[in-house]
A and B are shown apart, each in its own frame.
Chain A
Amino acid sequence: MPGKRSAVRKTADEYVISGFSHLIVGVFALLCFIPILLVIIYSFTPYDLYLKNHFDFFPSRLTLDAYRMVTNYRYIWTGYGNTLYITFFGSILSLIVLVLTGYPLSKKDLKGRNVYMTLWIITMFFSGGMIPNYFLIRTLGLLNNRWSLILPGLVSCYNLILMKNYIQGLPGSLEEAALIDGANDLVVLVRIVLPLSAPILATLGLFTAVGYWNSYFNAIMYMTKRANWPLQLVLRELLFESAVNEMTAMDERVSTPFLLKMASIVVATVPIMCIYPFLQKYFMTGLALGGVKE
């Protein structure tokens, strides 16, 4: 057997497997990314070049025409405003409730804690469903209010468990010392537990923010007025229905619906691209953190 010759030298089958792995993984990664790259290229392609050749992936000139038209579209900006509002306040409030709930739940001997935890876990298995949720929002008078997109999904039980497990994994000695010194639990939480929880808060905060930024399901039920739509719903109308024609009607010669759609995608996705490096940094630690128990 070739493997016996040396543990250091690569054997023939190792070369084959290694080459095969590089190839398949590389091809899959490129397949994932090329469509996104094409969108970016198309969004900068001048209309006349696109007309001449749809497959011109290296256009000789670049243009901002499509972006000019997209940014002139009013609902892009109302959508941006609404989504920023929802993402910002949703993530902050979510973290506040997560910490406030996760801390008492991390105390295993606290009376009533098991009942409370069970109430949370039930929500992982069962929910009221679409229609009762719709009626709740309607009864609360939150239709067409941005808080209807923030409140219903504020805290997921999954994130709560990650938070709770993380706090349980912190060394308890600092907390105990502070309690002996006469600090109450709120002071301990704010002064000791909160600073130590920075990594998990960053992780859960980023993921919650991405979740708020990307979702449109609640908005399709609760937001009937266009001015209240979040960005994803505005984008959906541009990409899947013919709302994009409202832009082109003004100036047909400068662009075509296809290029405008590509530019709209880029405009709506830039913030996610900007935080993607941070997401990458945190999701590995985040997953590792969540897995730790005790």
Chain B
Amino acid sequence: MSFISLVSVEFMKIKRSRILFILLAATIILWLPSILNVHLNFGMQAEGISPENNFFIQGFMAMSWFMFPASMVVGTVLLNQTERMNKGIIKMLALPIHSMKLCLAKFMVLLALAAAQILMMAGMYYGSAAVCSAAQDYNFILPPVFVAKEMGLLFLSAIPMTAFFYMLSVSIQTPIFSVGIGLASIVPSVLIINTKLWFAYPMSYPFFVITSEYGKLAANLDTAQITLIPWIPVAIAVTLITLFISCIRFGQAERRE
């Protein structure tokens, strides 16, 4: 079985999971207050940021701080429980396929969920920007190339974090700990981005990337900027190590039974 067909099988498994509704609900709740408080964007000139940029980046910041990482934790619960609920994992492990491939196929689905939520976020952004532009008689819509760049940055920076959450859900059998550690680890990311060791904490990457973009857009605001070294090597190492541990631990508890 090729890797692509394995991934498509994984997609079929979550077809009726209603996860997309949860991801969508989060994005709707994200943009509603922005539409209601759109006039506040005009008061941000002191920071040297244009209203349309402020509207966009504030939404993305709110999302990347808590909801986006938390959605990924929910995604790991989904991937895990669909297999464990009716012992589907036993059947999976009995197939003549390398378990590493199965593990990575599931991770691909998780990344696809991340991408789906970012796409929904952008879709909702354009919808709400259009509504605000009409209501305020001011153009809030940003060029798609710029939005796509921010989306890509957010997605790439979320890969190590997603791999870490995936490792937690695969390696820890009791769901309360994998979920609890995952959710609890998101909360301090606000503090960690202000420290020098932010690069060692993958859960803070998406928020840090978006806040540093905010700093770039706001001329008078001096937010910490990303330093590619040692961030990129550390991020790659975190991703590889966590995925490696996930692959080793995948189905290990079930094989022992």
Q: Are these two chains actual partners, yes or no? A: no
Q: B-contacting residues of A (Cβ < 8 Å)? A: none
Q: A-contacting residues of B (Cβ < 8 Å)? A: none
